[in-house]
Structure 1
C-alpha cells in the first residue's frame, strides 16, 4: 500500500505539512506574548489577547475545509493542493514582513487558515482513495500517525532553534529565531508545491472497484 498504492508519497506530503504547521504554532503564540519593550519584538498580548489574535486561523480553516471538495472538483486536486501550499507559505512570509504591525500580522491568519483548510480536507481523502476498501482504516491510521510524528519532530526542531538563537546574556530567543522558523515553514510550503505535480506519477492511482459492490464515493477527483 505504501509503495505500489502510492500512499507513501502522500504520507511524505503529510509529514512536510506537519513540520510546517505544527512547528510554527507555539512559536507564533510565543511571538504574540513577547513584550517589545523588554525583548525588542512581539506584541505583549495576554492569554485572552492571544486567543482573539489567532481566531482568524480556525475560522478560515473551517470555511475552506467545508468548500474544499467543491474547489477540488472545479480546479483539480493538484491545483487545489498547490494553492494550499502557496497560501500557507504566504502566511509565514506575511508573519516575517508584518512582524511589527499587529493588525496585519493577525490578518495573515485568514490566508494561512484558508490554505490549511484546503490541505487537511483534501489530502486525507486522497490517502483513502488510493487504498483498497478493506485497507482504508489502515491508510487513515497511517495518515494520522504521520501527522503526529511530524508534530513531535517539528516541536523538537523548533525548540532547538529557539534555544540555540538567544539574546546575548539571556535565555530568551532573539528575533532571528522566529524569522528562521518561519522561513523554514516557507521552504516546506515551497517543497510541497514542487512535489504536488508528481501526485499521479508517484502517488499512484485511486483504487478502481472491480464490481458494483465495491464502488465507493470519492470526495475529490483525481484529474488535475
Structure 2
C-alpha cells in the first residue's frame, strides 16, 4: 500500500482526533469554575469568564478561520491555530496572575473554529461516502466531545489542583498539533483566499456585544431596558455587516449562499436547537451538584458531576456513527426531526422524573443521543446547498450559530432559575427547574418548525 493510500485511510482518524481535542480544551472551563475562584481568590462571576472568554474568542475566530481556510492556506491556518491553542495552554498551567489565565483561555478558545476547516478537508480529500460520514462525526465530536473533558478535569482538580487540569489541556493540544502536522494534507486550491478584514472587525464587534449581553443574567434582572438596548445595538451592527457583505467582491461570508432557504432554515433550526440543548445540559449539570440539604439535588462533587456527562458523550458518538445509515434511509430532514423528538423526550424525563439520580442520568443519556443525531444530520443539509469551495465558510457560520445558541441556552437557564428564588436560600426553587424544562422543550419545537424548509435543495 502506498504512503498516499495510507494517509487517506488515516485521514478521518486524524480529523476526528483534532476535533475532539479542540472540544475537550474548549470545555475545560466549565467544571473548574469553583476551583478557579478558590485558587485565584476571585468571585464565581469572575471565574465564569474562564469559560465565557473561550466561547467568545471561538465565535469571533470561527468565521475568519473559515474564510482563510477556503483557499490554499488551510493546512498552515490549522497548524497556526493549534499552536495558538497550545500557547494558551502554556499560559494556564503555571500560577500566573488571573488576567494571564484569561488570556490563555482566550487563546485556547480560538481552537473552536478549527472544526469547519476539518470538514472542508474531509469534503475535499475523501470519497463522497466517507466524506459525508466523517463530516457527520466531526460535527458530533465538536458537541458531544465536551463531555470527555469534564470528568477528567474534575478528577485532576480533586486529586491535585486546577493547574493539573489545565496541564491536561496543554498536553492534548500538543498532541493535536503533532497529529495535524503529520497527517493533515495540503488544500487542493492553488490561490489563497482573500479575507475581508473590515467585515471581520464589524462581525466580531457585533457578535462579541451580542454574546456578552445574552450571557449576563444579573444585568438582565437589574437593568433590562439597558440590556435590551445593548442587544439591539449588537443586532444593528450585524445587520450593517450583512448589508456590507452583500456588496463585497470577496466577502468574509458569502451571505448570498446563506439566504438560500435550506441554509437559512438549517441555521435557524441550529440556533433554536442549540439553545434548547444547552439549556437542558446546564439544568442537569447544575441540578445534580445542588446540595441535597436544599430539598432537591444530589450534592455531587466536580468529578462525579462530570461522570454524569459520560453517557452524554458515549451516546452522542454512537448516534454520530449511526447517523449516516439513518440518513440514507430516511433523509437528513427526517433524521433532524427525529433528533428533535429524542431531545424532547429528554426534557420530559428531566421535567417529571428527577427525584432519583437515575432520572437526570437517563435524561442526560437521551439528550446525548439526540444531540449526536442532530449534529450529524445538520452538515448534510448545509453542504447540499453550497458549492465545495465554500464548505469551510458555510460550516464556520453554522458553528457560530451553534455557539450563539449555546450561549442563549445558558443565559436562558440562568434567567429562569433566577426568577424562581427559594426563600432564605441562594438556590432556586425546584419548580424553577420544571419551568425551565418546559420552556426549553418549547424552544426545541421552534427548531422543528424550521426543519421542513431545511430540506429544500437549490435549483441547478
TM-score of the superposed pair, with normalisation by structure 2:
0.42
1:148 aligns with 2:400: no
1:4 aligns with 2:260: yes
Within a 5 Å distance, the mapping from 1:18-167 to structure 2 comes to: 18-36=274-292, 38-167=293-422
- Taking structure 1 as reference, are residues 148 and 178 closer, same or farther at Cα in structure 2, changes over 3 Å only? same
Name 2:457's counterpart in structure 1: 205
Cα deviation, 1:131-177, whole Å, max 9, x if unaligned, reads 12222221111101101111222222222222221101333211122
Measure the CA separation in 1 of the matches of 2:316 and 2:322: 10
1:193 positional shift: 2.9
Cα deviation, 1:43-102, whole Å, max 9, x if unaligned, reads 222222212222211110000111101111012222211110000010011011111021
**Partners of 1:5 and 1:130 within 8 A in 2:** no
1:206 positional shift: 5.3
**Partners of 2:266 and 2:378 within 8 A in 1:** yes
1:20 positional shift: 0.7
1:187 aligns with 2:439: no
1:207 positional shift: 7.6
RMSD (CA atoms): 1.8
Cα deviation, 1:82-124, whole Å, max 9, x if unaligned, reads 1100000100110111110212331233322111111001102
- Taking structure 1 as reference, are residues 169 and 189 closer, same or farther at Cα in structure 2, changes over 3 Å only? same
Aligned residue pair count: 204
Provide structure 2 residue ranges, at least 5 long, that are not aligned to the other structure: 1-256
TM-score of the superposed pair, with normalisation by structure 1:
0.84
Name 1:14's counterpart in structure 2: 270
Instruction: Judge which range, 160-169 or 188-197, deviates more.
Output: 188-197
Name 1:169's counterpart in structure 2: 424
1:5 positional shift: 5.7
- Taking structure 1 as reference, are residues 166 and 54 closer, same or farther at Cα in structure 2, changes over 3 Å only? same
SS of the counterpart of 1:65? helix
Provide structure 1 residue ranges, at least 5 long, that are not aligned to the other structure: 209-224
- Taking structure 1 as reference, are residues 110 and 74 closer, same or farther at Cα in structure 2, changes over 3 Å only? same
Name 1:218's counterpart in structure 2: none
Name 1:217's counterpart in structure 2: none
Measure the CA separation in 1 of the matches of 2:459 and 2:375: 20
Measure the CA separation in 1 of the matches of 2:276 and 2:260: 27
Instruction: Judge which range, 7-16 or 50-59, deviates more.
Output: 50-59
Measure the CA separation in 2 of the matches of 1:108 and 1:27: 11
